[in-house]
Amino acid sequence: MNQFLDSIDSYIFILNKKLEIIFCNKKLLNKLECSESEIDKIQVTSDNKIDDKSISYKISGIKKDEVLNLDLILYMRDRKFKLKSKITNGYFYSKDVVFVSSDNIEIIDHNLQFENNTIEENTKQEIQGTEKSISTLICLLKKIEQSTPIEEIFKDIDIKQSIEQILSEIHKTKLMKKDFELLLEISADIVGVMDNNGYLKTVGQNWTSYLGWSEQEILESNILNLVHESHKDKLSEILNSDNKDVVVIENKIICKNNKYKWFRWNLKLVKEKSVFAFTARDITKEKEQEKQRKKLEETVHLESIKNEFFANMSHEFKTPLNIILGTIQLIDRNINDENIFWNENTDLSRHVKLIRQNSYRLLRLVNNLIDMTRINNGYYELKLVNHDIVNIVEEITLSVAQYIEGKEIELIFDTNCEEKIIACDPEKIERILLNLLSNSIKYTNKNGNIYVDLQVDEEKINISVRDDGEGISKDKLPIIFNRFVQDDKKLTKNCEGSGIGLSLVKSLVEMHGGKITVYSTKGVGTNFEFYLPNKATHCETNEINKNYICDNNKIEMCNIEFSDIYGM
């Protein structure tokens, strides 16, 4: 019995009715780093906030064939171990005991890490007590066959004691058989015996639950016929070897539903019987998780390569763009100073304007790509300073008003507070609002309205940009803040864009500790709402700034942000 328990790839221990450990298998002893002589030093308690008396009553009250799931704690010297345990009643060498099994041990409050062991070497299966009784019986039968006088037989052998001993061993064997069956039922492993040709001799009931095959179908099968073709050679090599060590392999086994499951096998050659004892554990989920982990690692690696490419490409674009914009400024100055002469039939100012506008469009795209890359890589930082958020939003709205005069769109700003100081990065707030306003302008028709509303409460600053334009289709709302997503599939000349602006807006709002949402109905309009925390920084060096950015910079930022709206 002890040898069988030692061969199971689970942590097993046996308690008497006083909750004293009377046996631990070798796997558990190795985990606890103790010897058989130290078993009485192991203390058992529960992790379920109930006293020891209640634990004892709960465990001893287990009904026949019932399995109790309970978290137990083992104390050994200065170490503490937590086990998710399956507990059931049974018999151990004629004693009424409690069997406890667990597939995992968690070390608590201890710095040392212990590695799990595979199945220890199986020892001989013969029971010494039974061998002794059989020897006594054989000796008695020989003397009877030799017509030895009864007096001499009685003189040399205590017949009554020998018979009682034989009957006792037979009874123990029956109890052991029940124990084996019980342990096989609660074991998480598939166990069995096969010959060196792969034919199964003995199997546990778990075969059916894991693979779907009946016991009879399994016993009539050769394991090599169930193993995946790519794994047969490895298993055949093991079955034909004389290696007495425990061999661990992994392979796929076909189920009755024609699907494969992964199993980790522990095989041990019992050479004197020319058979292999084995246990096998289902690791299909473990393999799937490993596959998903590798897939995630590959995705992260590809994302890193992509971000690096965007960053490099963006910087390569920015240098020539700065040269082009600098040249345009020089041409403008020379035009104003009348240092350049051109044919009166050529609208030079219009051509210069187109060059500048398209340069701004490229610059806007490059800036967004660089910023998104920096955000994804964790290099993007806010410069939080105490500012009047009402003034910031109002100034941005007013600076935009002059850009929409020719589109016959009315821009309205409203607030319930005249001044509110909060910690924010005004440049990032400006980018958020300009992006939302440029989207509203793109999709709002003539005689339409755009409303910018700021409401202050005790916890948040609520800001909304609402229009009565074309609206966003319902299927696009859940992904509108994803990169490279646009609702306008036609990409008409008047409304072009890269599809990353709203993704950047979402990131900037969240970096401020806020959240942005969108509500829209096709043909009715769209409402972008976001909030910022209503709190200021406590650093005394942060002065309150109202004129956060110069007019020239605001004009430049508006030109860049509205560059993809033709006709501005």
Residue pair 55/40 in contact by the 8 Å Cβ criterion: no
CB 222 within 8 A of CB 247: no
> Poorest-confidence range of 243-247, 374-378, 521-525, 527-531?
374-378
Confidence class of residue 517 from pLDDT cuts 50, 70 and 90? Answer: very high
In a domain, 118, yes or no: no
Cβ proximity of 275 and 244 under 8 Å: no
Domain for residue 51, yes or no?
yes
534 found inside a domain: yes
Of 349, 376, 403, the one marking the end of a domain is 376
Residues in Cβ contact with 506 at an 8 Å cutoff, skipping those fewer than 6 apart: 481, 516
Strand order through the sheet with 460-467: 410-415, 449-456, 460-467, 525-533, 515-521
Q: Characterize 395-423 residue by residue with b for buried, 16 or more Cβ atoms within 10 angstroms of its Cβ, and e for exposed.
A: bbbebbeebbeebebebebebeeeebbbb
From residue 383, give the alpha-carbon distance in Å to each of 246, 387, 425, 542.
62, 11, 5, 11
Last residue of a domain, one of 265, 282, 299: 282
Note whether residue 77 is domain-resident. yes
Q: What is the CATH number of the domain that holds 55?
A: 3.30.450.20
- Grouping H, G, I as helix, E, B as strand and the rest as coil, residue 489 is coil
Highest mean pLDDT among 84-88, 163-167, 270-274, 527-531: 527-531
| Confidence at residue 494, expressed as pLDDT on a 0 to 100 scale | 43
- CATH, residue 370: 1.10.287
Over residues 250-261, the mean pLDDT reads 91
212 alpha-carbon distance from chain centroid: 30
Q: Do 358 and 563 form a contact (C-beta atoms < 8 A)?
A: yes
Residue 482 sits in a domain whose CATH number is: 3.30.565.10
**Residue 44: beta bridge partners?**
74
Residue 495 reports pLDDT greater than 70:
no
Mean pLDDT of 245-256: 91
- Tell me: do 229 and 273 sit in the same domain: yes
What are the tokens at 362? Answer: 């490229």
Distance CA 189, CA 174 (A): 23
Is residue 123 domain-resident? no
- Is the separation of the CB atoms in 508 and 352 below 8 Å? no
Distance from C-alpha of 544 to C-alpha of 31, rounded to nearest angstrom = 63
User: 177 and 220, same structural domain?
Assistant: no
* Domain carrying residue 273: 189-282
Residue 10 main-chain phi, psi, to 5 deg: -145, 160
Question: pLDDT over 90 for what percent of the chain?
Answer: 19
Residue 247 CA to residue 269 CA, distance in Å, equals 9
518-554 residue pLDDT tens: 999 998 999 999 999 999 887 544 455 545 555 556 6
CB-based contact 500:485 (threshold 8 Å): no
pLDDT at residue 371 is higher than 50: yes
- Quick check: 120 and 246 in contact, CB under 8 A? yes
Q: Are residues 343 and 410 in the same domain?
A: no
Q: Quick check: 448 pLDDT over 80? A: yes
Burial 425-448 (b: 16+ CB within 10 A, else e): bbebbbbbbbbbbbbbbbbbeeeb
Residue 155 lies in a domain: yes
Contact 523, 482 (CB under 8 A): no
Give yes or no for residue 179 having a pLDDT over 80: no
Supply the pLDDT for residue 564.
66
| Rounded-to-integer distance, Cα 421 and Cα 385, Å | 10
Residue 74 near residue 83, CB atoms below 8 Å = yes
CA-to-CA distance for 166 and 219, rounded, in angstroms? 32
For residue 157, is pLDDT > 70? Answer: no
Residue with tokens 């607030």: 415
- What string of DSSP letters covers 284-301? HHHHHHHHHHHHHHHHHH
| pLDDT-derived band at 120, boundaries 50, 70, 90 | very low
Query: pLDDT tens digit string along 322-340?
Result: 888 888 888 888 888 888 8
> How many other CB atoms are found less than 10 A from the CB of residue 498?
17
pLDDT of residue 338: 80
pLDDT digits (tens, 9 = 90+) for 36-70: 888 888 888 876 655 556 667 777 777 777 888 88
pLDDT band, very low/low/confident/very high, at 462 (cuts 50, 70, 90)? very high
- pLDDT reported for residue 116: 37
Q: Is the pLDDT of residue 420 over 90?
A: yes
**408 and 493 belong to one structural domain:** yes
Same domain, 482 and 525: yes
Q: What is the DSSP string of 77-107?
A: TTEEEEEEEEEEEEEETTEEEEEEEEEEEEE
Same structural domain, 395 and 467: yes
Spatial separation of the C-alpha atoms in residues 28 and 545, rounded to whole Å: 68
On whether the CB atoms of residues 76 and 42 are closer than 8 A, the answer is yes
What domain count does the chain have?
5
Considering the domain architecture, whether residues 545 and 430 belong to the same structural domain is answered as yes
Looking up tokens 């062991």 gives 117
Residue 532 is predicted with a pLDDT of 95
Is residue 119, in this structure, part of any structural domain at all? no
237: which 2 tokens? 């090599």
pLDDT at 461: 95
Residue 568, in any domain of the structure:
no
- Asked whether residue 165 falls in the same domain as residue 100, the answer is no
Provide the mean pLDDT of the chain: 79
CA distance 79 to 85: 18
What are the CA-CA distances from residue 503 to residues 298, 371, 496, 521 (Å)?
A: 23, 11, 16, 20
Identify the residue with better confidence: 165 or 516. Answer: 516
* 428 plus 554 within the same structural domain: yes
Q: Are residues 549 and 422 in the same domain?
A: yes
pLDDT per position as a tens digit, 212-234: 888 888 888 899 999 999 999 99
Supply 445's token pair. Answer: 């028709």
Q: Which of 282, 317, 350 is the last residue of a domain?
A: 282
- Pair (476, 394) in one structural domain: yes
| Residue written as token pair 């040249």 | 327
Q: Which amino acid is at 61?
A: G
Reduce the DSSP state of residue 240 to 3 states and report it.
coil
Q: pLDDT at position 159, please?
A: 58
Residues 413 and 552 reside in one and the same domain: yes
